[in-house]
Structure 1
Amino acid sequence: MILLSIIELTNIKKTFGANRILDGISWQLNLGDKVALVGMNGSGKTTLLKIIARIMPPDSGKIRINDNIKVGYVPQQPEFDDSTILRDEISDQRIIELRQMIEQMELEMSNLKNNDIHLMEILNQYNMLCAEFESRDGYGYKAKLEKILDIMGFELTDLDKHINTFSGGQKSRIQLAKVLLQKPDVLLLDEPDSHLDLDALEWLEEFLYDYKGAFIIISHDRSLLEKVTNKTLELEFGRLNQYNGNYSYYADQRERQQKKQHYDYVNQQQEITHLKEAIESLQKWASRSSNPKLGRRVKSMEKRLDWIDPIEKPHKKSKMQLSFEFQKRSGEIVIEAISLSKRFDDHNLFSNLNFHIKWGEHVAIIGPNGSGKTTLIKILLGLDQQTSGYVNLGDNLIISYFDQEQKGLNNQKTIYNELEEDTKLTKNEAMYLLSKMLFKGEKAFKNVGELSGGERNRVMLSKLVYTKANLIVLDEPTNHLDIPSIEVLEDALIAFRGTVIFITHDRRLLSNVADRIIELKNGEVHLYPGGYDYYMMKNEAIEETAII
């Protein structure tokens, strides 16, 4: 099979300060490649994507992109001119221009007689414009635009709103919609799923699965990577390792390689040690004896030692260490909501919610963006006021809350001060806890304001560990965490014997952790006694019944 490369990287290097982020990367993207780019936070994934998109130059090396290949880039943090309106930002201006020109020419032709000498000239121009309009899918563009806007959670009335009226999450979705509408040959996607609800995530998954072009995606959603990719690139210590399969294939092969490398390295080190000891012993005997054979044996063994091609010592990946314990058990009923309603002005967020959560349950709250998930959690915790209804908290509750907005963090403090001042830990205890959360040595004294999103999340999780709460409430805890850290968090929540209430768009986390689902949709609450897989099964059955 002949592989046709459309993008080629040759010996790409990039350094920030004293840190070599990319160390001589050579790689090619072929037609039909659907690539997951994975690696720890800070490994350089976003930097590599920006270099491929030609937004950031490499220090050295070459990038070749085939002629006529259109590249679309979706950044992690979109930048817009806030003074523009959504319609102008998202629309294909050439299609609008073509439509106006076609309408103008149709008007001109209607005023010409059949024998007019200019008619044929105008008709030729008209046909050319129509051909370009059709090639750009101009006839289906409006329907496609409206569909994508709807999927991304926007109304048609939003088209005339200024960009500065939208939230950060909405701006991310605008950027994604804008690039998808351009129909590029290659998509470069930097965490496009960060601000999508479950419905939009499933749409993106379907879109990428059916996508005819090539793409490179950075995402922490393992379910998404599992279903839509056919190659995995791991960026580690400035180098790329390619695995010709999806995320599960990569994880399995990576583990096998690490075990083999460790086994081979240990065996080789034992062989080297044995040879050195044997040479040293023979040299002693040779110095006491006039036997030339001993000297020849020493030289032979030294040559053998020189010929050994040393196996690189396996790099030990630092992984977050996390476990939750509770001081004491709470009552059997942890939280009870009775006829709960919330209204903002003339908008009814939800009404007449009735449910209770029992000790030891791991409950996920799901629903579309804007359905009131975070508001519901804040009402349950007494951080927001309901319009009507009651919330009863159980006995002996010790609550720990992970706020996705991270309002509990002070950007002026160091990580160490942030933990020390909020806890009763000694310096040694605090430093030990922070080291388990990958803040070792001097890293513990970085200012919180300088931290990445993933690092800030780890600081929040450090505080949760200290509280020893029997009710853990988490609002989007996986945002900005790398996949290894998400898997550690997942294992810790599965092992926790207390009560958990959480909001997440990570479908694998939902499947593995939740044993009960509360869904908010269209102002109503739907309760599912099983986990996320049970919820999906029930909804598929409802959809099939509706079709019949």
Structure 2
Amino acid sequence: MIQVRDLAVEVGGKTLAEGISFDVRAKDKVGLVGRNGAGKTSLFKTLGGALPPKSGTVKITGGVGYLSQDPRVDDVPPDTPGLTHVLSGRGLDEAMVRLEKARLRIEENPSEDNVARFSRLQERFEMEGGYAAESEVRRIASGLGLEDDRLDLPIGVLSGGQRRRVELARILFAGSDVLLLDEPTNHLDADAKDWLLGFLRSYQGALLVISHDLDLLDEAITRVIHLDREGEEALGEVVEYKGTYSQYLVAREKDEERLAKLADRQEAEIRRLATLADSMRGQTAKRARQAKSLDTRVSKLEEKKVEGPQKRRTMQVRFPEPPHAGRTVVEVDGLAKSYGDLTVFVDVEFDLGRGERILVMGLNGAGKTSLLRILAGETQADLGTVRWGHNVSVGYYAQEHEGIDAGRSLLDHMREQAGLDDEELRRLMGMFGLSGDKAHQDAGTLSGGEKTKLALAQLVAGRHNLLLLDEPTNNLDPGSRTATANALADWPGTMIIVSHDAEFVRELQPDRVLMMPEAQLDYWSDDLLELVELS
């Protein structure tokens, strides 16, 4: 159970929300919603213990499974097998490591002592449920779309999407009494999403989830907590609604209509009384006393005045005209990439003409991100060549936001992309809703949606003519996703795209598709849209 009382959340010396109180009990399934930047992720960090509260209390009964929006396994040795990391959710990883070391000792020296030690460790591991646990881990990992052989690989060679699935599997396997899940369906294909929805529907603990996935919000939750923070200087407060997300939207719209009418009535009454008081001033002493009385009434009304809901600002994005590039933008010949004994892809070949768009498809682990990282110069291919055309400028959107560093402001990140003055850079950030004091905020404190917007703003500032886009709509709310898709659809530059977002791909209308890891090229057809969410 989660019990929150009079909680205040502060990030980088700025208070985002205060006076927050709510309960989440066993079997409650609650969605935390609110616009990007409202403070949802910061509130989750506070609940999960990653961020201390400014004031107030958080009491959680039982174990907590916390999936952050950008789960990192940097503190896990890169040679740790994925299976071992998942088993650590129940503390079985160390027992498994001891058992494996004992087995290796038998291979080196099959002495009676070594065999006896292995037998004792094996019996203990079995008594602790180790072998049954391994089967359960593989079942969960399979449900999340993680191939069985990938679970046996070191975490260091897995793709970002695979590492996130391993971390989600660890949290689900742990059997915690409370789950805090921040965007759990990111990087999941359609089958994995369906499996996760089924898991969450049957989960008996207390669930609190942040998600832009409307299917999850409609099918797996029974209550909505709306974190209401309308302006950059406003403080967040929570309003609770019973029902699914769709039911919340209807109730929220009615609440806002009612609030708007109340605000209008109060404002009209304040204007009427103030005008009447002004008309009485400078007349008789009796009239002056009446005016003063009216002033008192106006002051009391001002104190109780409610603010009507602000008009939702629609993000308006425009990518500038790209610099002119040669007719052939890039030629890729014979690329191959491996991580240790794992061969990701071999013999990848394609060329890309000016203004052309190519979608890279394939299952998780097929090498899509590895290919984009090679083209972006972030890593090296084992074999093959990449030849760039005349005057090509490459902009890379990384799905893991590796280029966004904690300890540096948003404005610092923008300055490194272009020689523009700060006023112009702030204008570009404002286009993505990153305005006001946000420019000087530590980028490490941003939510996932805000990091996405900052990364997109960097692409705009860079004035590139080739964009490498790796899941650019992850973490964006529906309105921001639509605005980004429309802007890119109208942009005449060249693109190489990786995306699970079928609506985004439909809007972009790629010219060709590259199927990985087979490196098979074909022309794009809308018939392939059904495969996009599965890739």
* TM norm structure 1: 0.68
SS in 1 for 2:526: coil
CA distance in 1 between counterparts of 2:397 and 2:322 reads 18
| Corresponding residue for residue 520 of structure 1 | 515
Distance 2:511 2:25 in 1: 43
Q: In the alignment, residue 18 of structure 2 is paired with which amino acid?
A: D
Q: Deviations over 1:227-275 (max 9, x none)?
A: 4333332323232122334445545654564465445434532331232
Say which SS state the counterpart of residue 183 (structure 1) adopts.
Answer: coil
Structure 1 residue 26 corresponds to structure 2 residue 21: yes
In the alignment, structure 1 residue 530 sits paired with structure 2 residue 522: no
Separation of aligned partners in 2, 1:467 and 1:396 = 14
Matched to 2:518, the amino acid is: G
Residue aligning to 2:497: 502
Of residues 212, 217, 221, the one that matches 1:225 is 217
Pairs within 5 Å for 1:383-422: 400-404=395-399, 415-416=410-411, 419-420=414-415, 422=417
Q: Say whether residues 1:474 and 2:469 are aligned partners.
A: yes
**Partner residue of 2:319?**
324
Give the deviation of 1:406 after TM superposition.
5.9
Give the conservation status (yes or no) of the 8 Å contact 2:368–2:516.
Answer: no
CA distance in 2, matches of 1:232, 1:514: 35
The structure having more radius of gyration, on CA atoms, is: 1
Contact 2:29 2:220 in 1 (8 A): yes
The yes-or-no answer on 1:347 pairing with 2:378 is no
2:264 matches 1:269:
no
SS of residue in 1 equivalent to 2:363: coil
Instruction: Tell me the CA shift for residue 409 of structure 1.
Output: 7.0
Secondary structure of the residue aligned to 1:502 is strand
Question: Could you say which residue in structure 2 is the equivalent of 1:153?
Answer: 146
Contact 2:414 2:425 in 1 (8 A): yes
**Candidates 10, 13, 34, aligned match of 2:5:** 10
- Where do 1:282-361 residues align within 5 Å? 282-286=280-284, 305=298, 308=301, 309-312=304-307, 314=309, 321-327=316-322, 342=336, 344=338, 347=343, 349=345, 351=347, 359=355
CA deviations 1:8-47 (Å, max 9, x no partner) are 3333334457433441222122454322223455544344
C-alpha contact (below 8 Å) 1:364/1:514 kept by paired residues? no
Q: Helix, strand or coil for the counterpart of 1:276?
A: helix
Q: C-alpha separation between the residues in 2 aligned to 1:463 and 1:172?
A: 25
Answering whether residue 235 of structure 2 is matched by residue 241 of structure 1, we say no
SS at 1:311 equivalent: coil
2:457 to 462, 466, 480: 462
| Shift in CA distance, 55/157, structure 1 to aligned 2, threshold 3 Å | closer
- Per the TM alignment, residue 310 of structure 1 is displaced from its structure 2 partner at its CA by 1.3
The change in CA–CA distance for 1:181 and 1:463 in structure 2 (over 3 A counts) is closer
Q: Which letter does structure 1 place at the counterpart of 2:269?
A: E
Q: Which amino acid aligns with 2:196?
A: L
Measured in 1, the distance between the counterparts of 2:190 and 2:249 equals 24
The alignment status of 1:176 with 2:168, answered yes or no, reads yes
Change (3 A) 1:388 1:199: farther
State the match for 1:281 in structure 2: 279
The superposition leaves residues 151-202 of structure 1 with CA deviations (integer Å, 9 ceiling, x where unpaired) of 453545854x666676765544333212212334432213334454565445
The 1:31–1:407 alpha-carbon spacing in structure 2 relative to 1, beyond 3 Å, is closer
Deviation at 1:51, TM superposition (A): 4.7
Q: Aligned residues, how many?
A: 488
Instruction: Tell me which moved more, 232-241 or 493-502.
Output: 493-502
Distance change (3 Å), C-alpha of 1:371 and 1:346:
closer
- Structure 2 residue 70 is the aligned partner of structure 1 residue 72: no
| Structure 2 counterpart of 1:109 | none
User: 1:370 maps to which residue?
Assistant: 365
Please give the alpha-carbon distance, in whole angstroms, between the structure 2 residues aligned to 1:75 and 1:264. 39
CA spacing shift, 1:527–1:32, aligned 2, 3 Å: farther
1:500 & 1:157 partners in 2: Cα distance?
30
Query: Do 2:37 and 2:450's aligned partners in 1 also have CA atoms closer than 8 Å?
Result: no
- Partner-residue secondary structure (3-state), 1:37: strand
Q: Is the 8 A contact 2:30 2:225 kept in 1?
A: yes
Residues 259-307 of structure 1 show CA distances to partners (whole Å, capped at 9, x for unaligned) of: 65445434532331232112211344545xxxx7x67975885676466
1:489 alignment partner, one of 484, 487, 493: 484
Change (3 A) 1:444 1:212: closer
Distance in 2 (alpha carbons) for counterparts of 1:376 and 1:336: 13
**CA 1:388 to 1:231, structure 2 compared with 1: closer, same or farther past 3 Å?**
same
CA distance in 2, matches of 1:255, 1:499: 41
Aligned partner of 1:278: which letter? L
AA in 1 matched with 2:146: G
Preserved CA contact (<8 Å) 1:70 1:186: yes
Native 8 Å contact 1:275 1:301 kept in 2: yes
Whole-angstrom distance in 2 between the partners of 1:412 and 1:74:
23
Q: Aligned-pair distance for 1:371?
A: 1.0
Question: How far apart, CA to CA, are the structure 1 residues paired with 2:405 and 2:80?
Answer: 34
- Evaluate the alpha carbon distance shift between residue 239 and residue 517 of structure 1 in structure 2; reply closer, same or farther with a 3 A threshold: farther
- State, as a whole percentage, how many aligned pairs show the same letter: 29
Superposed CA offset, 1:359-384 (max 9, x none): 576x5433222212234446777987
Structure-2 change in CA distance of 1:457 and 1:348 (3 Å): closer
1:204 corresponds to which residue? 196
Contact 1:197/1:505 (<8 A) preserved: yes
Aligned to 1:215: 207
C-alpha change, 1:24 and 1:445, in structure 2 (3 Å) is closer
Give the alignment's TM-score, normalised by structure 2. Answer: 0.69
Q: CA RMSD in A?
A: 5.1
Q: What SS is found at the alignment partner of 1:12?
A: strand
* Contact 1:335–1:380, Cα closer than 8 Å, also in 2: no
Mean alpha-carbon deviation: is it higher for 264-273 or for 452-461? 452-461
- Secondary structure of 1:371's counterpart equals coil
Task: Give the unaligned 5+ runs of structure 2.
Answer: 96-125, 230-234
CA contact (8 A) 1:221 1:506 kept: no
| CA distance in 2 between partners of 1:244 and 1:436 (Å) | 34
One-letter amino acid of the structure 2 residue matched with residue 489 of structure 1: T
* 2:112 matched residue in structure 1: none
CA distance in 2, matches of 1:305, 1:238: 27
> What code does the residue aligned with 1:238 have?
G
The match for 2:100 is none
In structure 2, how many angstroms separate the alpha carbons of the residues matched to 1:389 and 1:350?
12
Q: Which runs of 5+ in 1 are unaligned?
A: 1-5, 98-131, 541-548
